[in-house]
Each structure stands twice: as structure tokens, then as C-alpha cells.
Chain A
């Protein structure tokens, strides 16, 4: 059975699970920054590769084939990584929403216990005045 004191103590400070949400958001933001960093690396490779004539690219001159291989291979994991970052954001948002549900329940309990007490005091004060 919840008491007003218990609720007061439970509501003090920050919700303990909120730090997990912050951790997920920070991780997701870092993933998207890493994706951007890798994207810039791919851009440098692409700039080098497509700066050569089609004949050289098709002939697969030394160095060009490894550039092409890197451009294509990195794209294979970079695309899913972008979406992994977004998925982690959604996980973080889900954690915060779950905390909101729990907080609303506790807030409801606080109202249930506190309001009769507050209104009772006011009723007594009014009766004394009369």
C-alpha cells in the first residue's frame, strides 16, 4: 500500500530508468555521426574513382578496383547501420514513454491519497471559521 511519504520519496530526483533512455539516445546519435564520417570517406573514394575515364575504370587499373570494391562493400553495411541508429532512437523513445506511463500511475496514486487529506483540512478550517 503506497503512502504519501513513500510517493514523495519515490518522486524525488530523477527517474532511475531515464539514464537508460539517455544512453540509447546518445548511442543512436553517435551511430548516425559515425555513418556520416564513413559517408565522407566513401565520398573521397568515389571522387577519386569517378575522376578517371571510363576506359580506365572498365580496365580495372590497379587501385581503381579496390576503390570500387570499397565503395560497393561499405554501402552494403552502411545502409543498415543508418536504420539501426534510427531503431535505437525509437527504443530510447519507447523507454521514456514507458516511464511516462509509470509516472502517471504514481501521480494518480498521489492525487488519490493527497486530495482527500488537503480537502479534509480545508473543510475543517471552514467549519472552525463558521
Chain B
């Protein structure tokens, strides 16, 4: 049973002939976790600042006007400009925030891959120090899956951010009209009604898709942790083997 998941014999490594080194993916993860996490925090922070210093004053300005004034305002007026700014920001800002959170989760996945790499190197070094031939765990299925899930999750979130920007442009086009004389009186089949139905329909599937992106990233993290469990179990087993006289 145990032999099925072990790679027997020394593995190639840099430096000494039987030294165990990190895999190229683990080396890349060691370099990437800091920029990913930092960019994620920055994006979420920027989203907060945009909400605080841009969206909030605009919403406040807009609702300082009476309902009649807001609806009667014509395209090009400050009131309509405020409304277009509010609606377009509300369209792209959530996608931006989710991208930031996704980058942070990606950073955590890279960090977990770095931990797995360190366990691999330390395990090899301990085996060498004990006079045994270094052996490493054959990459388990979870080890193959978690980088793929992480990449898929990031791709989904980048796509949803792109779709959010496109949606913001649509929202900007739609709301840049007078509510009373143009939007409320839009005729069936008009481009304004097309824009409205597109905005509403896109919003309905875009939010769940962001959660699918997050779900893929969380799956990646969980499988990376499961890989750590398997590495730790292999190392304990190997120690027992060495104590039993096995090389």
C-alpha cells in the first residue's frame, strides 16, 4: 500500500548528487506569493478608497436633489453625470474587489506550495543527515490539481473583471439620459431597452461567476493543505523505515 505512493531511489537535484531540491513550480511559488498577496491587499485597499472618496460623495450629491429634479435632469447635467458615475462605478468596483481577493487567495496558494517545497527539501536533508538515501513522495493527485484550480480561479476572476468593465460602459451609456423623458419612455426594441435588459441580465450571472472563481481558489487551497498532510505522513513513515534499518 505504502510503496504505491513513494518514489524509490534518489532524485536529481542541484548541487550534491543525492540532494533534494524544490520543483520548478515550488521555486516559482516561493517568488510569487509576496507580489500576489501585496497586489491583492492594494487592490482591495484601492477599492475601499474609491468607495470612500469617489462613490460616497457622488451618491450624497445625487440624493441631495429631489426625486422630481433627478428624473427631469437632462443628459450632460451634473445630476445625470452623477448618476452615470454611480451606476458605472457600481458595475466595475465589485469585480475589482473580487480580483483583489482572488490575488490574495492566489498568494496563499503560492505560500502553501512554498511550504510543500520546504518540507520536501528539509525531508531530503534529514534523510541524508541520518545516512539514508533521500526519498520523496511521488506527487499525489492533489498536488497536480491544486495549481490548476488556482489558475482556473484566477482566470475566472480576471474574466469577470473584464466583463465588469464592459458592463460599466453599458451602464454609462444607459444612464447618460434623462430618466423622465428618455429612459422611462423608451420604446420596445429601442437601444435603451436593449441596454437595460443587457445590464440586468449580465448582473444576474456575473455575481455567481465571481463566486465560482472564488470557489476554485478555495478548492485549490484545500487541496494544497491535503498535499501537506500527505507529505507529513510520508515523512513520518520514512522515519519509521529508517529506524527499522531500511535505507
Contacts of A93 in B (CB 8 A): 218, 221-222, 225
In the complex, the chain B residue whose C-beta lies closest to that of A116 is B243
Query: Nearest Cβ in chain B — how far from A25, in angstroms?
Result: 5
In the docked arrangement, what's the CA distance between A12 and B236, Å?
A: 10
Instruction: Please judge, given known A-B contacts A4-B243, A18-B226, A40-B205, whether A11 and B233 are in contact too, CB under 8 Å.
Output: yes
Instruction: Please judge, given known A-B contacts A13-B1, A114-B240, whether A50 and B197 are in contact too, CB under 8 Å.
Output: yes
Cβ–Cβ contact A96 & B208, under 8 A:
no
Interface residue? A111 (CB, 8 A)? yes
Interface residue? B232 (CB, 8 A)? yes
Instruction: Please judge, given known A-B contacts A46-B197, A85-B215, whether A53 and B188 are in contact too, CB under 8 Å.
Output: yes
Q: Mark B1-36, 1 if CB is under 8 A from A, else 0.
A: 110010000000000000000000000000000000
Instruction: Please judge, given known A-B contacts A32-B215, A50-B193, whether A122 and B2 are in contact too, CB under 8 Å.
Output: no
Interface residue? B201 (CB, 8 A)? yes
Interface residue? B69 (CB, 8 A)? no
Cβ–Cβ contact B232 & A47, under 8 A:
no
Instruction: Please judge, given known A-B contacts A50-B197, A117-B243, whether A14 and B230 are in contact too, CB under 8 Å.
Output: yes
B229 touches which of A29, A38, A49, A103 (Cβ 8 Å): A103
Cβ–Cβ contact A89 & B218, under 8 A:
yes
Cβ–Cβ contact B243 & A113, under 8 A:
yes
Interface residue? A65 (CB, 8 A)? no
Q: Which of B224-246 contact A (CB under 8 A)?
A: 225-226, 228-230, 232-237, 239-245
Contacts of A12 in B (CB 8 A): 1-2, 237
Contacts of B222 in A (CB 8 A): 21, 25, 89, 92-93, 96
Instruction: Please judge, given known A-B contacts A39-B204, A47-B198, whether A21 and B215 are in contact too, CB under 8 Å.
Output: no
Cβ–Cβ contact B131 & A96, under 8 A:
no
Q: Mark A40-53, 1 if CB is under 8 A from B, else 0.
A: 10111111111111
Cβ–Cβ contact A28 & B218, under 8 A:
yes
In the complex, the chain B residue whose C-beta lies closest to that of A48 is B197
In the complex, the chain A residue whose C-beta lies closest to that of B183 is A54
Contacts of A5 in B (CB 8 A): 240
In the complex, the chain A residue whose C-beta lies closest to that of B217 is A89
In the docked arrangement, what's the CA distance between A11 and B239, Å?
A: 11
Cβ–Cβ contact B215 & A29, under 8 A:
yes
Interface residue? B194 (CB, 8 A)? yes
Cβ–Cβ contact A86 & B218, under 8 A:
yes
In the docked arrangement, what's the CA distance between A54 and B241, Å?
A: 76
In the complex, the chain B residue whose C-beta lies closest to that of A103 is B232
Cβ–Cβ contact A51 & B204, under 8 A:
no
Cβ–Cβ contact B202 & A29, under 8 A:
no
Contacts of B240 in A (CB 8 A): 4-5, 7-8, 11, 110, 114
Apart from A4-B243, A22-B226, A29-B215, 16 more pairs, CB < 8 Å: A11-B236, A11-B240, A25-B223, A32-B208, A36-B208, A39-B204, A43-B201, A50-B201, A52-B188, A53-B193, A85-B211, A86-B215, A86-B218, A89-B222, A103-B236, A118-B243
Residues of B within 8 A of A (CB): 1-2, 5, 130-131, 183-188, 193-194, 196-205, 207-209, 211-212, 214-216, 218-219, 221-223, 225-226, 228-230, 232-237, 239-245
Residues of A within 8 A of B (CB): 4-5, 7-8, 11-15, 18, 21-22, 25, 28-29, 32-33, 35-36, 38-40, 42-54, 56, 71, 78, 82, 85-86, 89-90, 92-93, 96-97, 99-100, 103-104, 106-107, 110-111, 113-115, 117-118, 121-122
